[in-house]
Amino acid sequence: MSSSVNPSDSEQLTTTETLKRILRLSERAVSLPLKHSNHRTFVIPLALALLDRGYNPKSLSDDLWMKLANDKDRLEHLSQLIFPVDGSFHNVSSLSGISPVDPLTWKDVATRFQRSIFLDELHDWTYSFLVDMLIPMKTKGKTPTPSEVSTVSRNQPPLKTKLIRCDGWFSVVGQVLEKDAPSQIIPLSTGSGRLQVAHIMPFSTSKRKPLRNLLSVFAGEDMEELLTGNNINDPSNALLLDAITHEAFDSFEFGLEFQNKRYFLRLLDASRPPQQLLWYNDGDEIFFCQESQGIANPSALFCNIHLAIGHVLHDSGIAGLIDKILQDEEELNIGNVEGDYWLRVSASYLQRELRGLQEVDDSAIELDHNTTDSGSEDDRPVTSRHSISA
């Protein structure tokens, strides 16, 4: 049977490009809402932003493909749904060994996808990234207390001291002078202030296993060890910033790109640049560690992951929606939310917090086994995981 597709339709595509093309063709035809708290957006723009601007699109698309085809019957259904457009899908590794059927146009493919059972899986996959990665990454975190960083040796100087030793008394981004700098250091026109430690990957990441799991998918490598223990509070995961620039960084108004062994400032929200960055241009080079070479520079991986998350937030339009969700939750915590609206906001907030607590450390499991092996079956504690639906 001859194909009616255009020559461009018969090209060999990767899994990532296959999924992106289907989603783009479905974007106008499918209104698939994504709701959290009292706010609503749509699935497909966020899914496309993840596959377009994620740090490792291949890892993300492979993960989505696995969710869409999570058993043999679903894989066969999915393969029949999209394979082939003039035989063009044989390079998709997940479909190896499946014989071609009558060729389809890409419009046929999108229409079948829109009518299929896979939209629910697409919704759940996207919702998970919204609730378990994007919102926690954008949530303003408090400065960790001494007890929270007690795993760091007491013989080591505080993180802020290390950063000052490395970069000097001025913030590298913003050029603000630390208020406690020696009197002989002359301030610049940018002024002085109390500089703060800004974690590139939030300190709370060390406590949220679902967030670490999704960051591993987003990055295409295991982030577990990198984001726990001493690593979360290491100079490689920190910048020294004034309060205004710190807030702008946490809000993904700007990020840092590491490329060819150099750092570049990237303005993610050029319409509202932070006050201390008004004299910067997008792409300006930033120079770290001018004072001491014995302390690690900001992690290239962490900087680029943070920047990629910023691109996803802004390209999908989710950044503003998350701001509204977090504002609702702040008002909830200070008692300004009432009635049915309170119920919706509090339920979504509790849901996200419970999802973040779905973690049982291997060490705790091992300890539990060691301390209960000698007891009777009835005396042993039961460890359960909460499964919360979207």
Taking the C-alpha atoms of residue 383 and residue 390, their distance in angstroms, rounded to an integer, is 23
Domain presence at residue 231: yes
Domain presence at residue 340: no
Quote the crossing angle between the two packed helices 43-53 and 300-316, to the nearest 10°: 150
6-10, 201-205, 357-361 — most confident range: 201-205
**Segments forming the whole domain that contains residue 164:** 156-311
Whether residue 365 is predicted with pLDDT greater than 50 in this model: the reply is: no
Give yes or no: residues 169 and 276 share one domain: yes
Taking the C-alpha atoms of residue 22 and residue 12, their distance in angstroms, rounded to an integer, is 14
Mean pLDDT for the stretch of residues 311-329: 87
**If DSSP codes are grouped into helix, strand and coil, which group holds residue 149?**
helix
Give yes or no: residues 228 and 166 share one domain: yes
What is the pLDDT, as a whole number, of residue 369?
43
Give yes or no: residues 163 and 122 share one domain: no
Examine the fold and report which residue of 137, 169, 191 is the final residue of a domain before the chain moves on. Answer: 137
Give yes or no: residues 270 and 128 share one domain: no
Q: Which of 186, 181, 165, 171 is nearest to 291 (CA)?
A: 165
Each residue's pLDDT tens digit, 138-189: 886 555 544 444 444 444 579 999 999 988 999 999 999 999 999 899 888 8
User: Where does residue 168 fall: left (phi above 0), alpha (psi -120 to 50 degrees), or beta otherwise?
Assistant: left
Each residue's pLDDT tens digit, 67-126: 988 877 777 777 767 655 544 444 444 444 445 455 677 788 888 888 777 889 999 999
Contact (CB, 8 A) for 297 and 271? no
Give yes or no: residues 116 and 15 share one domain: yes
Give yes or no: residues 88 and 181 share one domain: no
Domain presence at residue 345: no
Each residue's pLDDT tens digit, 189-236: 888 999 999 999 999 899 889 999 999 999 999 999 999 999 999 999
- Confidence class for position 239, pLDDT limits 50, 70, 90: very high
Total domains, the chain = 2
